[in-house]
Amino acid sequence: MKTLADLLAEGVAGRRVLVRADLNVPLDGSVITDDGRVRASLPTLRQLTEAGARVLVAAHLGRPKGEPDPKFSLAPVAARLGELLGAEVALAADVTGPSAKSTVDGLADGRVALLENVRFEARETSKDETERAAFAAELAALLGENGAFVSDGFGVVHRKQASVYDVARLLPHYAGGLVLAEVEVLRKLTTDTARPYVVVLGGSKVSDKLGVIANLLAKVDRLLIGGGMAYTFLKAQGHEVGDSLLQEDQLDTVRGFLKEAAERGVELVLPVDVATAERFPDFGAASQPAPVVVPVDGIPAGRMGLDIGPDTEALFAAKLADAQTVFWNGPMGVFEVAEYAGGTRAVAKALVDSSAFTVVGGGDSAAAVRLLGLPEDGFSHISTGGGASLEFLEGKELPGVSVLED
Ligand code: ADP
Ligand code: MG
């Protein structure tokens, strides 16, 4: 796999370099609520601009429906990127249209420009290879002669999409610093892992993450489950879960996990108490539904579990205390609201206090670490890619990484 260092050694002064970055930040209207991904993209961009490259960045934001939608414009990101780089970042009004072409024409050596949201173009995510390839060819054509592609959006390398995968097949391609660092860290989690190896899973994308569990059971010593996915496990064990997040259709699968964990001697640790509410919080509101902590065998009908309780915080911390390797994905509760952030803070703190090799993966988990004011350097690595890091740990091939290896 060629890397950014190889590209810099070849020389990039005056060359147009397309960088696929992950700038998919959380927004409140047009205000960026966590700019971690923008900041994470800076080292690669700076190395290129300092070497005199003309850097064109391709990125997505949210899930627009394959057509322009002002709600998902990268304008706030262009502004923030410009602030952080200390130089204005021009934003094209389209992806590969006339505005993109004139933006690229106006790009000086050592400067950065941003294309509008690549997902404003339906061909970006098309399942049809020919459509994707045609769009990728338009992206590549923006660079003219002697262009190069740097893949630096680790959060998207598990996707076979035009700006991630197809464009790499058309241009000389290099792994950016971020992708390289992520792959190196994750390899440490899959080979010669120091034990005990403990994985903590939470969050709300339950059905996405159940697949991961099947794979992890063969690899870990302990699996701690909190967040929204815990309730499907609790229900599978016979507890009533009230209005909590529940994947009814996955109960059999989850019973299978419980059985397999027991057979393999993997400790599967579930909450013993949870903080419940009468309704789901409204993040913007001044006051929130009051939490009532109950044991997991006492979740009343009409209430929902929104965080792990204090006994579970202590239990999870104890299960993390002697770990040598920890991977954590998914908040333990609705951390966006102070009333339900305690469990996530407790797990984050246990990782900060631990001397283990600790990796945090997942957009919301990484955002939670920052939002709750924990020191980012208290973790060995904070991954920018949730889905990508999980798929890597599962042992799946990441198309956006494999394509760089050819
Ligand atoms: P990540 O991005 O780290 O992979 P997810 O996207 O899967 O994590 O989940 C993050 C979301 O999960 C957060 O917005 C949080 O509010 C939500 N969440 C956590 N616990 C619960 C719960 N018990 N019920 C509903 N939502 C929850
Ligand atoms: Mg998420």
Q: Which residue has tokens 């903080």?
A: 275
Residue nearest to ligand 1 atom 24, measured at CA = 228
CA distance 44 to 81: 13
**CB of 368 closer than 6 angstroms to any ligand 1 atom:** no
Q: Which two tokens stand for residue 273?
A: 């108490």
**pLDDT at residue 212, as a whole number:** 85
Task: Give, as one character, the DSSP assignment of residue 258.
Answer: H
**pLDDT at residue 3, as a whole number:** 97
Pocket test for ligand 1, best of 232, 316, 364, 371 (most atoms within 8 A of CB): 364
CA distance 388 to 67: 25
Residue nearest to ligand 1 atom 25, measured at CA = 228
* CB-based contact 379:397 (threshold 8 Å): no
**pLDDT at residue 93, as a whole number:** 98
Q: Cα-flanking dihedrals φ and ψ of residue 47, to 5°?
A: -60, -40
Ligand 1 center–CA 333 separation, angstroms? 6
Q: Which two tokens stand for residue 3?
A: 């890397």
**CB of 334 closer than 6 angstroms to any ligand 1 atom:** yes
Cis peptide before 399 (omega within 30 of 0): no
Nearest to 101 by CA among 116, 121, 86, 84: 116
**CB of 365 closer than 6 angstroms to any ligand 1 atom:** yes
**CB of 247 closer than 6 angstroms to any ligand 1 atom:** no
Query: Which atom of ligand 1 lies closest to the CA of 363?
Result: 2
Residues of the chain with pLDDT under 50: none
**CB of 227 closer than 6 angstroms to any ligand 1 atom:** yes
**CB of 331 closer than 6 angstroms to any ligand 1 atom:** yes
**pLDDT at residue 261, as a whole number:** 97
**pLDDT at residue 406, as a whole number:** 78
**pLDDT at residue 393, as a whole number:** 85
**pLDDT at residue 362, as a whole number:** 85
Pairing of strands 90-91, 112-114: parallel
Protein residues with C-beta less than 5 angstroms from the ion ligand 2: 363-364
Q: Alpha helix (H) ranges present in 52-128?
A: 75-85, 98-105
**pLDDT at residue 56, as a whole number:** 98
Query: Which atom of ligand 1 lies closest to the CA of 366?
Result: 3
Query: Which atom of ligand 1 lies closest to the CA of 231?
Result: 23
Residue nearest to ligand 1 atom 4, measured at CA = 362
**pLDDT at residue 391, as a whole number:** 86
Ligand 1 center–CA 304 separation, angstroms? 14
Pairing of strands 304-308, 273-277: antiparallel
Ligand 1 center–CA 160 separation, angstroms? 25
Catalytic residues: 37, 205, 363, 387
Pocket test for ligand 1, best of 199, 200, 204 (most atoms within 8 A of CB): 204
Ligand 1 center–CA 272 separation, angstroms? 19
Instruction: Give this prediction's pTM.
Output: 0.81
* CB-based contact 303:239 (threshold 8 Å): no
Q: Which residue has tokens 């489950």?
A: 225
**CB of 36 closer than 6 angstroms to any ligand 1 atom:** no
Rg of the chain on CA atoms, in Å: 22
Query: Which atom of ligand 1 lies closest to the CA of 329?
Result: 3
Q: Which two tokens stand for residue 160?
A: 């076979």
Query: Which atom of ligand 1 lies closest to the CA of 390?
Result: 4
